[in-house]
Chains A and B, each alone.
Chain A
Amino acid sequence: MASPAPAIVRPTKTGAELALAETFAAVRASLPGGPDVAAQRTAAFDTFADAGLPHRRVESWKYTDLRALMRDAKPLAPLPDADAKAKAVAAGSLFSTLGFRRLVVVNGTFVPELSDLSDLEPGVTIASMADALADPAGLPASYLGRTVASPDAVLALNTALMGDGVVVHVAAGASIPRPVELVFVTTAETPVAAFTRSLVVVEDGASLSLVESHEGPAGIAYQVNTALELVVGAGATFERVKVTTEGSDAVHLATMLAKVGADARFSNTFFTTGGAVVRNQLLLHLAGENVKAHMGGVSLLAGKQHADTMLSVDHAAPAGESRESFRAVLDGASQDIFQGKIAVRQAAQKTDARMLSRALLLTETAESCNKPELEIFADDVQCGHGCTTGTLDQQIKFYLMARGIPAKEAEALLIQAFVGEVIDAIGEDGIRTALAEATRAWLLGRE
């Protein structure tokens, strides 16, 4: 008996997918960039249209079924008016006293008058992504979509619809002591969508510290799809901290694509407390030898929050060192997902890669999922991964209480210690203090 031909299943498009197609058709002509960018957008949208929104059968989205979590696609946010800009002045308050160079993006659009573009250090160039896309000789023409290849549908959607963002260039050998802060804020009072794309190029031997914050109003189901492409040159140093404190009903999808050259130092830390659905995906390509890469993350979640961190570290050259250290503190019925993939190519001998993710469940209804993946093609490497999920140590809690420390305060001390390991690894003093305070504020706000 002949076996039946495999059925080709083409699932019906969801409402959100149809709406995104309509949006793309309606706005494609008016999106920034010349013919090359337009072609990039079309190809990207085709990739998205073929795949659709990620769902459970897409391995890297296994625990975050966007088809179910993103029922509809919101209309694109309009250009920020005076009112929207006025509301954005107070954004980024976590780091506002630290004197960083603030570059503000409101409802997906870079706003120069809210940004600090004065006294740029020699070697630093800053532009809006919309302007840079329109420049055929601009930085995006050389780098955008060329840092790390990925078939990810959410990234493809970003490429198709990217409106604005920030482009930062640091010339070879330039050391920039003052951190740059990208403040992304949604001020809309109705549910809108923003697609932002940024590009940071740190040339050989240069150094840059970048802070990125994302926030918006509570109770409004806005959608953010943001992406950052990064190129770190040989011997350069780059540190980034991304803080996500989006509003209670927001869907926040973030992609970072990073290509790192020989002898460079790369560090990235996620700090997530806000948003209904948060996805942080980081694709790191260690292109040169002797790279030292550190990745950390803290998720503090409550209620029905869902945060998903997906890392893919590609050791393509010898003697690279990567460290991944993630902590999740889960209250209510929140869910934290950690997926970490380490690939070691055959050429990448002497790789030393370690990954650890730990979750602390504060309730019986909180959930943590861990999925480590190692793909090793070289034979002289060290690779390790570990994950733990547990509750607060009741013996230690009693010890603290027996010294007069109330239960809530005892828990707070232990939780701060738990996430402190990640925060303490951040190089910038002021950022460490600000995140420790943010952790404390989150703990005090617990019910």
Chain B
Amino acid sequence: MAPLLEIKDLHAEIAGGRKIINGMNLTINPGEVHAIMGPNGAGKSTLSYVLSGKPGYEITGGEVIFRGVNLLDLSPDERAAQGLFLCFQYPLEIPGVSNMAFLHTAVNSQRKKRGEVELTSPELVRKVRELGKTLGIDADMLKRPVNVGFSGGEKKRNETLQMMLLEPYFCVLDEADSGLDIDALKVVSNGVNALRSPERSMLVITHYQRLLDYIVPDVVHVFNAGRIVHTGGKELALELEATGYAQYQSEAA
């Protein structure tokens, strides 16, 4: 079976020259859920931005092969159309752009790029409403400007809705639990778990073990100083909760 995603000796800096990703290697097979855990400042969020193509980072080495193409050659929208989805730690507010119009444009931009038939308005509205129901997103939230005035929980549910609607092959969840209370965490996790399938993989970035009680990973990596320093099964998350990251930090140094 060909891997879904292969990160090979990836090096990246932020504009200005500070090295953040430092020779990272990672292989994810279809259907696998990997967790990346690590202390603050380890470069976890940078990894999510480098994978999704956010401007402001310079790739100084390596490649990221995703479904047969080097992701690093693609613009962020092309990566999305290829099937990559980044669930933002802090989803942005977009005044003046209604949630439904945003979802419609996103879905059809991707379909157009892939040469698929675009969805009509009624088709999309029906689909969004159905998915919205499972996440507790009502018609009013769909009419309002994207994320404007949404609570932390509503923003994350909205991210999950986008993920479910866009049906990506690979989801990067960057601190998906930040800003969530337990109830919201359950709703979001249920949405994410519903998306688990033999074709779809996920990378869950977190520094708390709590989230992994709800989204149970197949593999857990410890990330420090811009690379993976230790890999284990799901039980590794519990060990880390008990021992902290100190031993891996010295290992990396």
Contacts and interface: CB of A to CB of B under 8 A. Distances in A.
B205 to A, nearest CB: 15
A406 interface: yes
Interface stretch (A114-122, A177-185, A393-401): A393-401
Given A403-B166, A404-B110, A404-B113, A413 B105 contact: yes
B77 A399 contact: no
B102 interface: yes
A394 B77 CA distance: 14
Contact of A406 (B77, B91, B166): B77
A396 B94 contact: yes
Interface residues of A, number: 22
Interface centre among A396, A398, A402, A420 (most CB of B within 10 A): A402
A84 B124 CA distance: 48
Contacts of A396: 92, 94
A417 B95 contact: yes
B75 A401 contact: yes
Contact of A409 (B85, B86, B105, B162): B105
A403 B96 CA distance: 17
Interface in A273-331: none
A391 to B, nearest CB: 13
A398 to B, nearest CB: 5
Contacts of A400: 94, 102, 106
A106 B86 CA distance: 56
B55 A394 contact: yes
B88 interface: yes
A404 B96 contact: no
Contact of B106 (A398, A403, A414, A418): A403
B109 interface: yes
Interface in A390-437: 394-396, 398-407, 409-410, 413-414, 416-418, 420-421
B231 to A, nearest CB: 27
Most buried by B among A396, A404, A417: A404
A193 to B, nearest CB: 40
A89 to B, nearest CB: 34
Contact of B88 (A394, A399, A404): A399
Contact of A395 (B75, B81, B92, B95): B92
Interface of B: 52-55, 75-77, 79-81, 85-86, 88, 91-92, 94-97, 101-102, 105-107, 109-110, 113, 145, 162, 166
